[in-house]
Amino acid sequence: MAADDFGGRVVEKYGDTLFALDQDEEFRLRLLAEVFDPLCRAALSELGVDARARCLEVGAGSGSVARWLCDKAPHGDVVATDLDLSLLDRVPEPRLRRLVHDVTTDPFPENSFDVIHARLVLSHLPQREDVMRRMLRWLRPGGFVLIESFCWFPVESSPHPTYRKVMQRWSSLICGTLGTDSWWSRAQPGSFLGYGYRDVGANTVTQNLRGGTPLADFWRLTVDMSRDQLIAGGYVLPSDLDEFYALLRDDTFWDLAPALVQSWGRK
Ligand SMILES: C[S@@+](CC[C@H](N)C(=O)[O-])C[C@H]1O[C@@H](n2cnc3c(N)ncnc32)[C@H](O)[C@@H]1O
């Protein structure tokens, strides 16, 4: 179900209780960077980050991509935003400009950036359509936006009932609570065209998920962070979670992780 369908029923903002920035979330975001940065760097490199590029990293989390952008644009400028800068403040990069900025409400001047990147941010925001339009205004002519979001289709077709159930119920929890849409990414490239971007492209990466790997740890921790809400809300039983954690620790367990959709467009 699209987040917009929830209207007034979205009950909290990212980080209020779900994904609250504590030690577990810090560890999870570092794991996320370890697993997904290579895919992101490949896509950004392919699109082209000039040495003088002015870059914006939206919802920068641990700041790993922002730091990499600083290396790629030694004569440019990199702005990294988030609702909370606790993790970004620890990035040892003096050139990185850190900014508390809510992408749904706070502005940037028109024509400010050559590169805008947002990974696993827009799918959590009910205002994602409006954000896409505003980002186009923030881009300089010729600049590009790269958006990365998960898509749930590999989960829906999983032959493992516990893996499928827990991942689906977790998606329902964050959808109903934050307004996350685990399916928006499917149509992302098409929506770029609708917003007025050109040179639109996309790439979907479906990763094999084996128990005990960093990718499995990432998904186990991601679900575990919402353990209390999942049980209190009746989404799953404690025994479902125990079985799910055991699967994701078992190196004989193989399935597919949620896919990562990367899509981009230029101004
Ligand atoms: C799943 S994390 C991803 C972090 C980082 N983009 C990465 O992929 O490593 C989502 C990030 O978006 C940030 N975020 C959520 N809502 C936001 C908003 N409205 N404006 C700016 N950042 C936001 C969160 O604080 C968090 O750091």
According to the model, what pLDDT value does residue 9 have? 64
Q: Separation of 252 CA from ligand 1 center, angstroms?
A: 33
Domain count, the chain: 1
pLDDT of 17: 87
User: Cα of 122 to ligand 1 centre, how many Å?
Assistant: 8
For 72, the domain range is 3-7+19-152+179-208+259-266
Contacts of 111 (CB under 8 A, 6+ apart): 137, 138, 139, 140, 141
Residue 80 lies in a domain: yes
If DSSP codes are grouped into helix, strand and coil, which group holds residue 150?
Answer: strand
Looking at residue 223, its pLDDT comes to: 97
Specify the CATH number for the domain of residue 134. 3.40.50.150
CA distance 43 to 93: 22
The reply to whether 88 falls in a domain is yes
Those residues with Cβ within 8 angstroms of residue 101's Cβ, 6 or more apart along the chain or in another chain: 81, 82
> DSSP letters along 156-173, please?
HT-S-HHHHHHHHHHHHH
In a domain, 83, yes or no: yes
Q: How far is the CA of 217 from the centre of ligand 1 (A)?
A: 20
In a domain, residue 174? The reply is: no
Half-sphere exposure at residue 266, Cβ-oriented, CA atoms within 13 angstroms: 11
Between the CA of 108 and the centroid of ligand 1 the distance, in Å, is: 17
3-state secondary structure of 124: helix
By alpha-carbon position, which residue is closest to atom 20 of ligand 1?
A: 102
Residue 126 placed within a domain = yes
How many angstroms separate the alpha carbon of residue 89 from the centre of ligand 1?
A: 15
For residue 170, being part of any structural domain is answered with no
User: Could you list the mean pLDDT of each consecutive 10-residue stretch along the chain, which spans 267 residues?
Assistant: 48 88 90 97 98 98 97 98 96 97 98 98 95 97 98 96 98 93 91 93 97 97 96 97 98 98 97
Whole-angstrom Cα distance, residue 232 to residue 33?
30
Ligand 1: residue of 83, 219, 221 to mutate (most ligand atoms within 8 A of CB) is: 83
pLDDT given for residue 7 in this prediction: 47
pLDDT at res. 228: 95
Q: Could you tell me the end-to-end alpha-carbon distance of the chain, in angstroms, rounded to an integer?
A: 30
Residue 233 forms part of a structural domain? no
Residues with CB under 6 A from ligand 1: 14-15, 29, 32-33, 59-62, 81-84, 102-104, 119-121, 124-125
Cα(124) to centroid of ligand 1, in Å? 9
| Residue 263 amino acid letter | S
- Could you give the 3-state DSSP secondary structure of residue 123? helix
Residue 10 confidence (pLDDT): 72
Domain assignment of residue 224, yes or no: no
Of all protein residues, the one whose alpha carbon is nearest to atom 8 of ligand 1 is 119
Residue nearest to atom 24 of ligand 1 (CA): 59
